[in-house]
Structure 1
Amino acid sequence: MPDVKETRFRVEGMDCASCAGKIDTAVRRMPGVSDVSVSVTAGSMRVRHDSTSDLEAIRRKVSGLGYAVTPAADVPAEMPAGTDGHDPGCGHDHDLHGRAPEAAAIGGLHGHDHGPSEGPWWKGRKGRLTILAGAALAIAYGIGHLFPAVETYAFVVAMFVGLVPIARRAVMAALAGTPFSIEMLMTIAAVGAVIINASEEAAAVVFLFLVGELLEGVAAGKARDSIRSLSALVPKTALLEADGRTRQVPAEELAVGAVILVRPGDRISADGAIIEGESAIDEAPVTGESTPVRKGEGDTVFAGTVNGDAALRVRVTAAAADNTIARVIKLVEEAQESKAPTERFIDRFSKYYTPGVVAVAALVAVIPPLFLGGVWSEWIYKGLAVLLIGCPCALVISTPAAIAAALSAGARRGLLMKGGAVLEGLGKLTAIAFDKTGTLTEGRPKVTDVVAFSRPAREVLRLAAALEAGSSHPLALAILGKAAEDGIVPPAASGARALGGKGVAAAVEGREVFLGSPKAAAERAALSEEASAATTALNDDGKTVSLLVVDGVLAGAVAMRDEPRADAAAGLKALKDAGIRTIMLTGDNARTAKAVGAALGIEVRAELMPEDKQRIVGELQREGFTVGKIGDGINDAPALAAADVGIAMGGGTDVALETADAAILHGRVGDVALMTDLSRRTMRNITQNIVISLGLKGVFLVTTVAGITGLWPAILADTGATVLVTLNALRLLRPIR
Structure 2
Amino acid sequence: MSEATNPPSGPEGGSEALLARRTRYRVSGMDCASCAAKIDNALRRAPGVGRVNVSVPAGTVTVDHADTVIPAALSKRITTLGYKVMEQEPTTSHENGHHDHGHGPGCGHDHDHDHDHRHDSDEEPAAGLHGHLHDHGPSDVSWWKSTRGLLTIACGAALVAAYLVGRAVPQTGHWTFILAMAVGLAPIARRALVAARFGTPFSIEMLMTIAAVGAVIIGATEEAAMVVFLFLVGELLEGVAAGRARASIQGLTKLVPKTALLERDGRTEEVPAEILAVGSIILVRPGDRVPADGEIVSGESAVDEAPVTGESVPKRKGAGDRVFAGTINGSGALRVHVTAAAQDNTIARIVRLVEEAQESKAPTERFIDRFSRYYTPAVLVVGALVAIVPPLTVGASWSEWVYKGLAILLIGCPCALVISTPAAIAAGLSAGARRGLLMKGGVVLENLGKVTMAAFDKTGTLTEGKPKVTDVIPVGRSEPEVLSLAAALEMGSSHPLATAILAKAAEAGLAVTPAANAGAVGGKGVTGSVGGVSLFLGSAKAVDERVPLTSEQTARIIALNDEGKTVSVLLAADQVAGMIAMRDEPRPDAKAGLDALRSAGVKALMVTGDNRRTAQAIAGSLGIEPRAELLPQDKQAIVRELQAQGFVVAKIGDGINDAPGLAAADVGITMGGGTDVALETADAAVLHGRVLDVARMVRLSRDSMANIRQNITIALGLKAVFLVTTILGITGLWPAILADTGATVLVTANAMRLLGAGGRV
Contact 2:104–2:352, Cα closer than 8 Å, also in 1:
no
- Who is 1:519 aligned against? 541
Give matches, 1:24-173, under 5 Å.
24-72=40-88, 75-80=90-95, 82=97, 91-92=106-107, 109-115=130-136, 116-173=138-195
* Correspondence 1:405-420 to 2 at 5 A: 405-420=427-442
Matches of 2:245 and 2:191, distance apart in 1: 26
Aligned-partner Cα distance in 2 for 1:449–1:216? 61
Quick check: 1:433–1:584 contact (8 Å CA) kept in 2? yes
Q: CA separation in 2, counterparts of 1:205 and 1:703?
A: 17
Which residue is equivalent to 2:242?
A: 220
Distance 1:254 1:90 in 2: 22
The answer to whether 1:487 aligns with 2:509 is yes
CA shift digits 1:455-514 (9 cap, x unpaired): 222221111111111111100100011111112223332333322222222233322211
Normalized against structure 2, the TM-score is what?
0.92
| Deviations, residues 669-688 of structure 1 (Å, cap 9, x unaligned) | 11111111111111111111
Distance of 1:414 and 1:492 partners within structure 2:
41
Question: 1:336·1:420 contact (CA, 8 Å) conserved in 2?
Answer: yes
Whole-angstrom CA distance in 2 between matches of 1:61 and 1:491: 74
Once residues 150 and 353 of structure 1 are traced to their aligned partners in structure 2, the CA distance between those partners, rounded to angstroms, is: 41
Partners of 1:405 and 1:3 lie apart in 2 by 34
Counterpart-to-counterpart distance in 1, 2:200 and 2:131: 12
Report matched runs for 1:627-646 at 5 Å.
627-646=649-668
Instruction: String of CA shifts for 1:118-176, please: whole Å, max 9, x gaps.
Output: 12111111111111111111122122222322322222222221112122222222221
Query: Secondary structure of 1:519's match?
Result: helix
Q: Deviations over 1:4-60 (max 9, x none)?
A: 233333311112232223212211221222333333333333333334223343222
Partner of 1:97: none
Higher mean Cα deviation, 378-387 or 450-459?
Answer: 450-459
- Per-residue deviation, residues 267-293 of structure 1 (Å, max 9, x unmatched): 110000001111111111111111110
State the Cα distance separating 1:88 from its structure 2 match. 8.7
SS in 1 for 2:199: coil
Does residue 19 of structure 1 match 2:40? no
Using the aligned pairs only, state the percent identity: 67
> Aligned match of 1:680 in 699, 702, 706?
702
Change (3 A) 1:70 1:305: closer
Q: Distance in 1 between matches of 2:228 and 2:96?
A: 48
Q: How far, CA to CA, are the matches of 1:386 and 1:342 in structure 2?
A: 26
- Corresponding position of 2:607: 585
1:563 corresponds to: 585
Aligned to 2:227: 205
Q: Does 1:250 align with 2:278?
A: no
Q: Distance in 1 between matches of 2:430 and 2:449?
A: 17
Instruction: Map Cα deviations across residues 198-253 of structure 1 (whole Å, 9 max, x no partner).
Output: 12111111110110111122222322232122111100000111111111110000
1:388 counterpart letter in structure 2:
L
Deviation at 1:262? Answer: 0.7
Deviation per CA, 1:423-460: give whole Å up to 9, x if none: 11111111111111111111100000000123222221
Mean Cα displacement is larger for which, 567-576 or 165-174? 165-174
Contact preservation (8 Å) 1:542, 1:561: yes
**Equivalent in the alignment of 2:120:** none
Alignment of 1:315-714 (within 5 A): 315-714=337-736
Q: Is the 8 A contact 1:39 1:93 kept in 2?
A: no
User: CA–CA distance in 2 between the matches of 1:48 and 1:430?
Assistant: 41
Letter in 1 for 2:442: G
Look up the equivalent residue of 1:327 and give its one-letter code.
R
Q: Give the whole-Å Cα distance in 2 for the aligned partners of 1:328 and 1:289.
A: 17
Q: Residue 83 of structure 1: CA displacement?
A: 5.1
Distance 1:702 1:332 in 2: 41
Name which of structure 1's ranges 38-47 and 139-148 shifts more when overlaid on structure 2.
Answer: 38-47
Distance 1:695 1:3 in 2: 45
Q: 1:703 and 1:34, CA in 2 relative to 1: closer, same or farther beyond 3 A?
A: closer
The letter of the residue matching 1:565 is R
Question: Does the aligned pair in 1 maintain the 2:24–2:106 contact within 8 Å?
Answer: no
Q: Which amino acid aligns with 2:163?
A: Y
Q: 1:42 to 1:222 in 2, by over 3 A?
A: closer
C-alpha distance in structure 2 between counterparts of 1:12 and 1:92, whole Å: 18
Question: Post-superposition shift, 1:295?
Answer: 0.5
Secondary structure of 1:639's aligned partner: helix
Counterpart Cα distance in 1 of 2:640 and 2:260: 49
Contact 1:90 1:338 in 2 (8 A): no
RMSD between aligned residues = 1.9
C-alpha contact (below 8 Å) 2:19/2:50 kept by paired residues: no
Which residue does the alignment assign to 1:267? 289
Q: Give TM-score, length-normalised by structure 1.
A: 0.95
Q: Which moved more, 1:48-57 or 1:595-604?
A: 48-57
Residue 287 in structure 1 maps to residue 305 in structure 2: no
Q: 1:176 maps to what in 2?
A: 198
> SS state of the match for residue 268, structure 1?
coil
Aligned residues: 723
Whole-Å separation in 2 of the counterparts to 1:701 and 1:34: 40
Gaps of 5+ in 1: 95-107
Deviates further, 52-61 or 660-669: 52-61
Partner letter of residue 53 of structure 1? V
Q: Which moved more, 1:373-382 or 1:293-302?
A: 373-382
For residues 134 and 93 of structure 1, what CA distance do their matches in structure 2 show?
A: 41
Preserved contact between residue 90 and residue 337 of structure 1 (Cα < 8 Å): no
Q: Cα deviation per residue 1:501-530 (whole Å; 9 max; x = unaligned)?
A: 222222333222111111111111121122
Residue 84 of structure 1 and its aligned partner are, at CA, apart by: 5.0
| C-alpha distance in structure 2 between counterparts of 1:229 and 1:288, whole Å | 15
1: CA distance between counterparts of 2:96 and 2:37? 25
Secondary structure of the structure 1 residue equivalent to 2:240: helix
SS at match of 1:694: helix
Provide the residue aligned with 1:105 in structure 2: none
The Cα of 1:85 is off from its aligned counterpart by 6.7
Contact 2:30 2:134 in 1 (8 A): no
Where structure 2 has 5 or more consecutive residues not aligned to the other structure, the ranges are 1-16, 110-128
CA contact (8 A) 1:262 1:314 kept: yes
**Structure 1 letter corresponding to 2:93:** E
1-side partners of 2:18 and 2:559: how far apart?
A: 75
TM-aligned CA deviation for residue 86 of structure 1: 7.1
In 2, Cα distance between equivalents of 1:295 and 1:385: 64
- Determine if the alignment matches structure 1 residue 196 to structure 2 residue 218: yes
Q: Secondary structure at the match of 2:567?
A: strand
Contact 1:186–1:388 at 8 Å: present in 2 too? yes
Contact 2:132 2:235 in 1 (8 A): no
The alignment partner of 2:255 has SS state of: coil
1:88–1:254: structure 2 CA closer, same or farther, 3 Å change rule? Answer: closer
Deviations 1:553-576 (A, max 9, x none): 111100000011111101100110
- Please tell me the residue identity of whatever aligns with 2:59: G
Partner of 1:98: none
